[in-house]
Amino acid sequence: MFSAKNYPDHLSPEELDEYLYQGWYRLGQAIFTTQFLFFESKVFNAIWIRLGLRDFQFSKSNRKILRTCSNAFEVHYQPLELTEEKELLYQKYRSDFPGILAPSLKESLHEEFPYNIYDSWEVTLRDQGSLIAYSVFDCGKTSIASIIGVYDPDYRKYSLGMATLLFEIQYGAANGYEWFYPGYVVPGNPRFDYKLRSGSTESYDLYSRQWLPSDLVLSEILPFERIEQKIMAFSDILTETGKLHKVIYNSILEANFYKTEEMEFIDAPCFLLSFDEDPDHQHLAAITYDPHQNRYDCWSCSVLDNFEPDFWNDLRNRNQRFMYPAVLFVQEKKLFSAESLVPYIFPIPKMFFFNY
């Protein structure tokens, strides 16, 4: 799976460390992972990053931000308290934010739960007693994770969003933590690039499932682009052999956030769908590519609940090679796996492509 979401009843500091190490992150009172994002009608890579805190040294520019804010404002650390004052600042920040945020700070951090399973702390910045910025971070045993930063847009010139992140790093380094996890960056979308300015970061490499220097990971062919290349190569072969198929760009990448014991969904960012021309059969086969195992997997699959006529009409449109359906594809039985596209090495069972 490329995406998953758990709701643990309890989370020890050691368990939080392990989740963070595996590229997971907090979401409300859940903990989740995803490798891809879909917005602006495009698929993006989500690259998780972390910063080592042993012998950490701030850059000259970051020291300047810390020094300016420390001299101008009151900086305070304490266990998280949800207050009306913080909620009012959150609403002011939310009204100015260019993206989508939860309706309230409480919903963002606690959802509908009356408790907090995380050891959450805050750093606050005040100007003559008035709250102008704060951020929330969770503490594990050896790691801390930055969760949310909020600031007054009227103080934008002080780079308070970056400042609270740096104060979190300062807290972690001063208190013996080894790793700082600020979430993910999104190559191609500069909104998250400020996290890379925190220092010499590492990124979670989906191919090796290890943490490697960010410069190395971000200079490789990123996972979505590699998956897309492999799926398109397969599509070209099927086109040459006349087999009916579509390339699907998955707009519901978080599908497995909602999986049950009875069903699991295809959460690949790009995959190939083969289908039967007879609408009464309603059979589908999906080809996905696993960049970690370097192989293709073929699955029998179905569309959740039923097959809508419009979906089948779109599927049969021969002039529409690509589709962006808002459809949940149920991943059923794995039919076979193989590494090669060469037909005699990669025997595609005729019955699974329904073109006969």
Would you kindly state where each structural domain of the chain is located, as residue ranges?
3-219, 223-352
Q: Please tell me what DSSP assigns to residue 189.
A: B
Q: Which CATH architecture has domain 3-219?
A: 3-Layer(aba) Sandwich (3.40)
pLDDT of residue 255: 84
Please provide the average confidence, as pLDDT, over all residues in the chain. 89
pLDDT of residue 275: 76
The mean pLDDT of 77-99, rounded to a whole number, is 95
Rounded Cα gap, residues 183 and 102, in angstroms: 17
Rounded Cα gap, residues 32 and 114, in angstroms: 20
- Find the length of the chain: 356
Q: Is the pLDDT of residue 57 over 50?
A: yes
Which segments within the chain are labelled E, that is strand?
3-6, 25-27, 30-34, 36-39, 42-45, 47-52, 74-79, 120-127, 130-139, 143-151, 179-185, 201-205, 210-213, 245-249, 264-265, 270-275, 284-290, 295-303, 322-323, 329-338
User: Pseudo-torsion of CA 136, 138, 139, 142, nearest 10°?
Assistant: -110
Report which of residues 267 and 261 the model is more confident about. Answer: 267
pLDDT of residue 350: 52
Q: Is the pLDDT of residue 276 over 70?
A: no
pLDDT of residue 177: 98
Q: Please tell me what DSSP assigns to residue 105.
A: H
CB atoms < 10 A from the CB of 339, how many? 12
What is the pLDDT confidence band of residue 87, given thresholds at 50, 70 and 90?
very high
Between 233-242, 276-285, 341-350, the lowest mean confidence (pLDDT) is in 341-350
pLDDT of residue 10: 93
Q: Which of 311, 317, 244 is nearest to 275 (CA)?
A: 244
Report whether 137 contacts 145 (CB < 8 A).
yes
What is the pLDDT confidence band of residue 307, given thresholds at 50, 70 and 90?
low
pLDDT of residue 354: 41
Q: Is the pLDDT of residue 351 over 50?
A: no
Between 64-68, 146-150, 259-263, 320-324, the lowest mean confidence (pLDDT) is in 259-263
What is the pLDDT confidence band of residue 114, given thresholds at 50, 70 and 90?
confident
pLDDT of residue 41: 84
Burial class of residue 4, CB neighbours in 10 A (0-12, 13-18, 19+): middle
What is the pLDDT confidence band of residue 327, given thresholds at 50, 70 and 90?
confident
Q: Are strands 245-249 and 322-323 parallel, antiparallel or unpaired?
A: parallel
Q: Is the pLDDT of residue 245 over 90?
A: no
